[in-house]
Amino acid sequence: MATDWGEQKPQLTRRLLGRVFSYFLPYWSQALVVLACIAAGAALGLVPALVTKGLLIPGFTVRVRARAPDPFSEGT
């Protein structure tokens, strides 16, 4: 049966945190692999945006500069 704590919240102490993290201590190498996979996934998630930017921005700015007059030029 579940305990309803109501308004009472458990005290978060240094001892309690040490106890919780001690449960994960035997798995530190697996945790490093998981963190490396998360970092690799985040980095690979940026690749499509960077490739798209590299393909579109140079071509787009050349066409825009060739066709559109400079609105800030004073010589017109």
pTM greater than the 0.85 cutoff = no
- What token pair was written down for 75? 């010589």
Cβ atoms 31, 24 nearer than 8 A: yes
Q: Which residues contact 24 (CB under 8 A, 6 or more apart)?
A: 31
Q: Is the pLDDT of residue 40 over 90?
A: yes
8-15 CB contacts, 8 Å cutoff, 24+ apart: none
3 confidence band (pLDDT: 50, 70, 90):
low
- What token pair was written down for 30? 């697996």
Nearest residue to 54 via CA among 42, 46, 64, 45: 46
Q: Is the pLDDT of residue 30 over 60?
A: yes
